[in-house]
Structure formats: structure tokens, C-alpha cells
Amino acid sequence: MKRGTYVLIIFLIFFFLIIVALASLFYLEFGKPPSVKSHSYLEIKLSGEIQEKSSPDFLMTFFGMSSPLSMHDIWFNFQKAKIDRRIQTIVLRMGYLQCGWAKVNEIRDLVLDFRKTGKKVYATFEETVDADKEYYLATACDRIIFNPSGMMFVNGIGGYIPFFKKGLDKLGVEYEVEHMEKYKTAMNEFTEEGFTASHREMMESLYGDIYTHYVKKIAKARGKSEEEVRALIDRGLFQGPKALEAGLVDDLLYEDEIQNVLQTDGRKYTRISHQEYAKIKPSSLGLNRGRKIALVYGMGQILTGEGFYQLMGSSTVARWLRSARKDKSIEAVVFRVDSPGGSAVGSDVIWREVILTKKEKPIVISMSDLAGSGGYWVAMSAHKIVAQPQTWTGSIGVVWGKPNLKKLYEKLGISAERLTFGDKADIFSTFRKWTDEERELIKEEMKWTYDQFLTKVAEGRNMSKEEVDKIGKGRVWTGSQAKNLGLVDEIGGLSKAIAISKELAGIPAEEPVRLVVQPKKKTSFLDMFLGQPLIKKDLGISPRLEKTIAAFKLLEQERIWAIMPFWLSPQ
């Protein structure tokens, strides 16, 4: 190698080290907690995707990008603002939320809890489109403020669920799927031309339960009867003055007029953003101190091996749970689950760590939007399970499938020669259908996995296998339904789960605790560089489509799935 090449390599290494040093200095300078002035208001812009725990934010901060909203940061900011004398009120800037009803309900409960301090919460809208979730959250606030020229859409829950079979037939794509059992409708949109009877029954039950809860809460918050609320929803569209006249909002104000509301005795409040306030350490306000409770996040589809943000790797989550179990300074574990399931094997690996942890210290599950199928598998044997009324859970069943692309290949002029050593070597090939013998073999394997699922649910929930099978069969339930069926113990959010874990650990309710969170926050460029790539470039596609693509990728890796339907999202 030429001398000039060596010099270039040394220069590049030296340049990289300088960049790392500058990045670290940048973080130390700009990552410092901001100063909060007295008479401040906390502004939270509730718009876009809300993750359970967002990806590490160092690179986003470094490049001037904003991290996605996370329930973790929202929860902590509400806890801090409750006792922070400098924060006089909270303003929720409402936009279109890309999350499920359970997350929205949890934020709504945080608002109601915050208001118990006597401090105010205002919700502001400029305009809404299909804003039932957003409006539901806003009804927990002291005042709902709407733009005088805006149009409010509060028009109910539901829409259209697409089925692609006819289109796939034209392309020459056939999905071969086996379900265990009739309510396990994952892949139905690819194998059916419309609802099956059991599919429709389940969907009507889920959305009907959420709608009933929605109407009751709005009626109570706005001082109306349920019949009045349903009539308003059936009308659906309200211009600003009409929304005020109907009692849906409290004020019609422009931004400068909103600022006039945010004051006491003529003294205007100072704004601090949600992102800035998140930098305030809870310990600086006397929070997050005392005995330790582990808070482990299990987010996204489940797969075997290592995971990363928004995908739950069995090895990764098992390691976190094992670490919390072996750490004698940790009194209890709260396992926060937001997952539609995935690999049955991966789910079982995590379940085993939950069982082992349960033998040594309290472990409580906190369910978010989704905790179904594999997401329920990892939760079913904890000491207690806490879910929101709108959490989608259960889905006790399994599914196995693959695409058969033979006709598509023929249309494209693609041919293939079979070369196998072993009768079943090409069983997952996309170049052919399953044989009858292979399909029967797959059914036998699935029956065994389903039986294991039933057995473990029965043991974990102190039920008989027959009882579990009756409410299983792949059926998804809301959290409120699941509680009535014995699949869930309590209705509530993260605060409720932490309170239960303290009680089980013998920690007084009034005593603060320190949360030891996994995954840990990356706090430097070096941490990010040495870790796995956690931030991906925006693909310019919808979150739902992105999750569907991730599910397809998972299908390529795993064989037997314990997963909810791809499109099944409580939005």
C-alpha cells in the first residue's frame, strides 16, 4: 500500500475522532436541561405517530430533527408538571394522531389526574378531520378552544377494510394460510373477498365496545345525554359557530386571543415545549428517587434473536428481564407491552423469562394499544395484567402461511428448476403450492402450538383449558371485555401498573420509586455509533403500510406465527 494511502487513512480516522469530540461537546452544551421560568405553561403538540418509547434522540438533536412523540416522555412530563410550581397550566395543541385508542385514553387519564392539582388544561384545535380520538382526549380538558373558521369532524368510528384476493388472483398471487382457529383472521384480507361470519362478528364487537365507551365518556364530560351525543356524531360536521352552539367546544379564538387566556392577573405565562421540558430530570423535582422498579418496554412485532426499536427481539427483551431479575436492588418489574405478536418461539422465550422473574419478584404487565396473540403470550403469566378499556388483546391462536407466486412467475417469464435434498426442503418455496400431506403436517404442528398456548394461558390465569379455548380461537377482545373474561386483571395505564407493583413489593403507595428503564437512552454520539442503527430514513409511506412491510419481512424469518391481523389497528 502506498504511503499516500496510509496518510489518507490516518487523516480520515483523525477527522472522524474530531467529529465525535465535537458531537459530544454539542450534546453536553445543547443537551443540558433548560431553565423553566415561573408562570410557565407546558405546550404539548399532539400530532403524528405516538410510540411507546421513541428511538434515542441524540442524532435527531444533533441534526436539528424532532423525535417522535412517546408515551414514556408524555407520562413523565405530566408527572413532573403536576408538582412543578413553575408550570401553571398545560396546553394541548391537537392534530391528527397516529396511534390507537388505548394510548389516547391513557393521555386522557393523565389530563384528568393533572387537573386534580387545581391546574388547568386547555385543548386547542385549528381544524379537524376524522377527529373522534382527538376530540375524545380533548373532552378531559378544562376548555376546548376551536378556530372560529375551522370545521370540526366528529363523525364516529369505522370505515372500510380492504380485501385483496381478486386483485391478487389477477396478478397470479395466491396465499396459502392455515389458521388456528376461526377468529384468527390474520391474512384474511389476502385470502377472502370479504368478511367471514366470525371475522365480522369480532370486528363489530371490538369497534362497538370502543364506540360505546367513547359516547359515555363524551356525554359525561360535556354534560349531555348519550342520545344527544349520538345525534351529534351522526350529524358529524360542524363549522366553528355550530360546534360552539352544539356544546362541542367552549371557545372560538384565534391564536392571539388564546395567548390572552394564558395569564393570571394580567401576567402572561411563558411557553416551554414538550421536547424542552422532557430534558428536565424528574429527580430535580423529587421524582424518580427511592427504591427501584424496572420498567421494561416490549414494542412492536416479536421475532427471535436480537431486536431494535419498534421490533421486539426475544433475546433482547429476555436479557432485559433477566437483568432486572438478577439485580437485587430492583424490587419489582413493570413490563410495558405494545405488540400485535409475531414469532411463537420468540414469544415463548420472553414468556419463560417472565415466569422466572415471577418466582423471584413481582412482575406486572402494562398493556398499551396492542397486546394480542404473541403480545398476550408474553404477558399471560405475570402476577397482574393491566390494560386500557380500548386495548386490543387476547387473540389466543396461531397462523402459518406463505405466498404461492408460481402463476406470477409464469406471467413474468420466470422459471425455476427444483433441486432438493430432503422431501420437505422446498416446503416454503414460493414456486409451488403445499401438497395435501404437507398441509396436514402443518395443521398438526399448529395444533400442538395452539395447545401449548391454551395450557400456558390456563396456568397463568388460573383457568381451565376448556375455559381458555372458549374465549380463545384467535379472537381479539378489548381490554374491558378481556377483564370481564378473566384475561386481564385491572383497567388502567402505566401509573396503575406501577402502583400495583409497589403494592406487591411492599412499597408504601406514597413513597416515590426510581424507574430503571430498558431500553436505555443513548446519551452520546459514541453510544449511537457503537450500537445498532436505530434511526431509519423516512420512507415517505404511511405508518400502517410500514408496519405491514415489517410484518412481511417477519414472515420470511419465522414459521409459526402468534400474530394479530396486519390491518388490525384500533384507529
DSSP string, 260-324: HHSEETTEEPEEEEHHHHTTS-GGGGT-S-SEEEEEEEEESEEESS--BTTEEEHHHHHHHHHHH
Q: Residue with C-alpha cell 414459521?
A: 559
Cα of 555 vs its chain's centroid, Å: 20
* 571 residues of the chain, pLDDT tens digit each: 556 665 566 666 766 666 655 555 444 444 567 889 999 999 999 999 999 998 655 555 555 556 789 999 999 999 999 999 999 999 999 999 999 999 999 999 999 999 999 999 999 999 887 799 999 999 999 999 999 999 999 999 988 889 999 999 999 999 999 888 899 988 899 999 999 999 999 999 999 999 999 999 999 999 999 999 999 999 999 999 999 999 999 999 999 999 999 988 788 999 999 999 999 999 999 999 999 999 999 999 999 999 877 889 999 999 999 999 999 999 999 999 999 999 999 999 999 999 999 999 999 999 999 999 999 999 999 999 999 999 999 999 998 889 999 999 999 999 999 999 999 999 999 999 999 999 999 999 999 999 999 999 999 999 999 999 999 999 999 999 999 999 999 999 999 999 999 999 999 999 999 999 999 875 444 444 444 433 333 334 444 445 444 544 444 444 566 677 544 444 4
**Burial (CB count <10 Å: 0-12, 13-18, 19+), residue 486:** middle
CATH 3.90.226.10 domain residues, the chain? 36-155+236-282, 291-398+439-563
Specify the fold of 36-155+236-282: 2-enoyl-CoA Hydratase; Chain A, domain 1 (3.90.226)
Q: Per the confidence metrics, is the pTM higher than 0.75? A: yes
Q: What is the DSSP letter of 254?
A: -
Q: Which CATH superfamily is domain 291-398+439-563 in?
A: 2-enoyl-CoA Hydratase; Chain A, domain 1 (3.90.226.10)
Q: Helix, strand, coil % (nearest 5) of the chain?
A: 45, 20, 35
**Set 343, 366, 373, 381: catalytic member:** 373
Catalytic residue at 339?
A: no
**Burial (CB count <10 Å: 0-12, 13-18, 19+), residue 392:** buried
Q: CA dist 212 to 155, 205, 208, 301, Å? A: 14, 10, 6, 29
Q: What is the DSSP string of 67-134?
A: PPEEHHHHHHHHHHHHH-TTEEEEEEEEEEEES-HHHHHHHHHHHHHHHTTT-EEEEEES--SS-HHH
> What is the per-residue burial (b if ≥16 Cβ within 10 Å, else e) of 252-290?
bbeeeebeebbeeeeeebeebebbebbebebeebebbee
